[in-house]
Structure 1
Amino acid sequence: MPPPPSAPAVHHLRLWWRRRGRAGAVGATFSVAFLAAALLLTLSYYASAPPATSSSSSGRSPALVGLTLVRGAEEKGALCLDGSAPGYHLQRGSGGGSRSWLIHLEGGGWCRNLRSCASRQKSMLGSSHYMERQIEFAGILSDDESQNPDFFNWNKVKIRYCDGASFSGNVKDELKNGTRFFFRGQLILEAAMNELLLKGLGQAKQAFLTGCSAGGLATYIHCDAFRALLPEDSRVKCLSDGGFFLDVEDISRKRTIRSFYNDVVLLQDLRQRFLDCDSNLEPGQCFFPREVVKNIVTPVFVLNPAYDAWQVQHVLAPQSSDPQHSWLDCRLDISKCSPNQLEILQGFRKEMLDAISELKQKSDWGMYINSCFVHCQSLNSFTWHSPSSPRINNKLLVL
């Protein structure tokens, strides 16, 4: 069983990152942090808080980092959904961080059928033709030491997401119902990593794979493969932000997200990626972190809100399961939830804590589970490291 909600936060990201050792290391400590269950107070605050600005707490504007398209993408078969070359943004490190690398996998949901994938082909989530040529690096990607004290001077990379299946597909057939689709997420990630290895990642002393949302799920899926790319004596860890999606019933007692994942797995033939997954499970179940994490060896830090806003809106109370719109206000503003809805949210929180408590056996893993009504916290200066950042017993994530 997980510790009670009021248990003290004994460790956090900085301490966890600095711990050396791999799985099975003697004396490694599993760090767990749970925020006191002041549900309405805490969630109301973050639901009503003003939108986070892109500027850091120091007043500096985030750095603008240019887009690099993967070279030779077509010959490598590493293509976005529409057949365009994938891309990434690289900001070089300096000083003591010149041989340290942080790789971030972009998120952005998934497409479950040809219609939704076709729609993504006309957006930055399916084509590099629509990607911004420059983006801001904030939060864990910031080069501002006051905002990002542990990683500000590292080499930092954001790999753009344009395959619709958490960088996991590898389907050779391109023609579907008369339209060309490229389900090549696995090849995209491999091509980008190989290019970065030549740019210095291959000589990294330490490296950190991170990701948000669908990129957080990709972080779980690819963590060990990332470790295998790097020198044996390098220190390698992973952080998944808002990527622990739950296989739970929604408010209408349907498994909406499982059905969605079944479609994604079947469309992009992902079952072959999860050969260790129980064959008696439905295809989509193998795509959930609860199953993926069972075989991960590399240390992982789990950053997740117990009341993940995206999951409340799309997993617990999706519009398709709320024809009377009784959850419309609650799903957008937690302070407007009825007592019954709050009770259901508490049940969702318990499902999250029960699922994550299974990771206690992984002694060199860590986690920071707070009660904020948000989704993804590492890329936002407001939630990552600012005077208003989430606190657990007065402890910040990065301090």
Structure 2
Amino acid sequence: MESGRMIPWLNLVVCVLLLLKAEGSLVPLTLVENALTKGAVCLDGSPPAYHFDKGAGEGINNWIVHMEGGGWCKDADDCLGRKDTRLGSSNQMVEDLYFSGILGNDRDYNPDFYNWNRVKIRYCDGSSFTGDVEEVDPTNNLYFRGARIFSAVMEDLLAKGMDKAENAILSGCSAGGLTTILHCDNFKALLPSGANVKCVPDAGFFINVYDPLIVFYLGSTKNLPSSCTSKLSPGLCFFPQYVLSHISTPIFIVNSAYDSWQIRNILAPGAADPNDSWHSCKLDLSKCSHDQLSIVQGFKKEFEKAVSVVGDSSSRGMFIDSCFDHCQTESQETWFKSDSPHLANTTIAKAVGDWFYGRGSFDQIDCNYPCNPTCQNLVSDLKDHPGI
């Protein structure tokens, strides 16, 4: 009788395993132990880490390096709150990580990049890989070495074959998307001169309403693009709308014009809403009042103005949908499936693939919410995006 009860559960387990096999894979953690001698360490002093799924066949010399997201810390208390979590210590990171979307290894779900070398670099420095402070405060024992982490991990990957890259993409989600923008030219400079190198930041286009104290506290100033900091305040050069025009490497912006993280934490943060009147609206835009929706639509206008710096060069592109979401390239649901978000009858995966390989340009900004029916299944919640 007990074994009979188990059959439905066994069937469910088998179905889940088959689904995982079809849409992605589990990839083990690699610690960069030799980074310790270079002072390239997480907030707690542990070594940096990444997950690496080796390419095959025609993709053996092609690389996607994806930067994990996770927000920022701007002072000692903020950073101490991360120190004993996966966002501050490799000791707290899972051994195996699921790859899907742009990192997936199945041709049916990731047709252009499935057989590439695919890497996800874990985020444990709190500064979008820009901080670098030599001194370690003995009272809190925090290390701010994000820029060194970036260099040490890249050196490790170059030794594993990335020095022979023919095609390469630097990508990332949220704070990792901002990393992608800030380090885009640095990444290209590391690779062979003849390589086809481009950048695809996802949900990393944060508009300038955030206090940029991070660039001073974590020592980020010297690691922001000098072409920008030589003309503008370093605080401004942490924002894509000011730094993007100083980046020469081809870049494709993937973002929602109604980015759920920015609406929840920048447009209507808890501190500015003591009565919690925005609670329902921030979880589901269909629950917004008329006045709240007007404010949200105003945010989209400001976002469109900021993202206009992308320009209309053939080396640049963008997929700006009106889905209430945050990070869309790493999720199979939003990257490439029959019911994924579309713009101009095109999925994110196809838009990025066509642009990367020169099969066609793509430069689309969606109409106002709730105009896009392909967004209908994407009422998101922060818990759905642990990497923000």
Question: Normalising by structure 2, what TM-score?
Answer: 0.83
Q: Which of these residues, 222, 227, 231, is aligned with residue 188 of structure 2?
A: 227
Q: Which of these residues, 142, 160, 167, is aligned with residue 199 of structure 1?
A: 160
Q: Does 1:247 align with 2:208?
A: yes
Task: Report the AA paired with residue 174 of structure 1.
Answer: V
Residue 60 of structure 1 deviates from its aligned partner by 2.0
Query: Residue by residue, what CA displacement relative to the aligned partner does 1:242-291 show, whole Å, maximum 9, x if unpaired?
Result: 0000114xxxxxxxx2x2x22x1121122223444467966532211111
Q: Which residue of 2 aligns with 1:272?
A: 222
Q: Which residue of 2 aligns with 1:46?
A: none
Q: Which residue of 1 aligns with 2:150?
A: 189
Q: Which residue of 1 aligns with 2:52?
A: 90
Task: Report the AA paired with residue 232 of structure 1.
Answer: S
**Contact 1:56–1:381 at 8 Å: present in 2 too?**
no
Q: Does 1:111 align with 2:62?
A: no
Q: Which residue of 2 aligns with 1:31?
A: none
Q: Does 1:368 align with 2:331?
A: no
1:257-336 to 2 correspondences below 5 Å: 257=210, 259=211, 261-262=212-213, 264-274=214-224, 275-277=226-228, 283-336=234-287
Q: Which residue of 2 aligns with 1:352?
A: 303
Task: Report the AA paired with residue 298 of structure 1.
Answer: T
**Contact 1:95–1:153 at 8 Å: present in 2 too?**
yes
In structure 1, distance between residues paired with 2:80 and 2:54: 35
Residue 326 of structure 1 deviates from its aligned partner by 1.4
Percent identity of the aligned residues? 47
Q: Which of these residues, 29, 34, 43, is aligned with residue 81 of structure 1?
A: 43
Question: Please, which moves more after superposition, 344-353 or 305-314?
Answer: 344-353
In structure 2, distance between residues paired with 1:332 and 1:217: 24
Q: Which residue of 1 aligns with 2:126?
A: 164
Distance verdict in 2 for CA 1:183–1:58, change over 3 Å: closer
Q: Which residue of 2 aligns with 1:64?
A: 26
Q: Which residue of 1 aligns with 2:384?
A: none
In structure 2, distance between residues paired with 1:362 and 1:175: 46
In structure 2, distance between residues paired with 1:58 and 1:65: 12
Distance verdict in 2 for CA 1:226–1:279, change over 3 Å: closer
Q: Does 1:217 align with 2:178?
A: yes
Question: Please, which moves more after superposition, 126-135 or 357-366?
Answer: 357-366
Q: Which residue of 2 aligns with 1:238?
A: 199
Residue 359 of structure 1 deviates from its aligned partner by 1.6
Residue 368 of structure 1 deviates from its aligned partner by 0.4
Distance verdict in 2 for CA 1:141–1:56, change over 3 Å: farther
Q: Which residue of 2 aligns with 1:175?
A: 137
In structure 2, distance between residues paired with 1:392 and 1:137: 25
In structure 1, distance between residues paired with 2:136 and 2:261: 31
**Contact 1:305–1:375 at 8 Å: present in 2 too?**
yes
Distance verdict in 2 for CA 1:116–1:188, change over 3 Å: same
In structure 2, distance between residues paired with 1:59 and 1:387: 18
Task: Report the AA paired with residue 272 of structure 1.
Answer: K
Distance verdict in 2 for CA 1:102–1:278, change over 3 Å: closer
In structure 2, distance between residues paired with 1:63 and 1:271: 38
In structure 1, distance between residues paired with 2:70 and 2:197: 25
Distance verdict in 2 for CA 1:146–1:76, change over 3 Å: same
Distance verdict in 2 for CA 1:61–1:368, change over 3 Å: closer
In structure 2, distance between residues paired with 1:58 and 1:362: 38
Q: Which has the higher helix share?
A: 2
Residue 71 of structure 1 deviates from its aligned partner by 2.9
Q: Does 1:397 align with 2:348?
A: yes
Query: Residue by residue, what CA displacement relative to the aligned partner does 1:317-368 show, whole Å, maximum 9, x if unpaired?
Result: 0000111211111011111001111111111111111111122154410100
Question: Please, which moves more after superposition, 59-68 or 205-214?
Answer: 59-68
**Secondary structure of the residue that 1:239 maps to in structure 2?**
strand
In structure 1, distance between residues paired with 2:348 and 2:309: 22
Question: Normalising by structure 1, what TM-score?
Answer: 0.81
Q: Which residue of 2 aligns with 1:42?
A: none
**Contact 1:78–1:185 at 8 Å: present in 2 too?**
yes
Higher relative contact order (CA 8 A, sep 6+): 1
In structure 2, distance between residues paired with 1:162 and 1:141: 20
| Structure 2: segments with no counterpart, 5+ residues | 1-14, 351-388
Distance verdict in 2 for CA 1:307–1:57, change over 3 Å: farther
Query: Residue by residue, what CA displacement relative to the aligned partner does 1:103-144 show, whole Å, maximum 9, x if unpaired?
Result: 000000001111111111110000000000100001100001
**Contact 1:217–1:240 at 8 Å: present in 2 too?**
yes
In structure 2, distance between residues paired with 1:394 and 1:161: 34
In structure 1, distance between residues paired with 2:105 and 2:146: 28
**Contact 1:117–1:164 at 8 Å: present in 2 too?**
yes
Residue 388 of structure 1 deviates from its aligned partner by 1.6
| Structure 1: segments with no counterpart, 5+ residues | 1-52, 249-256
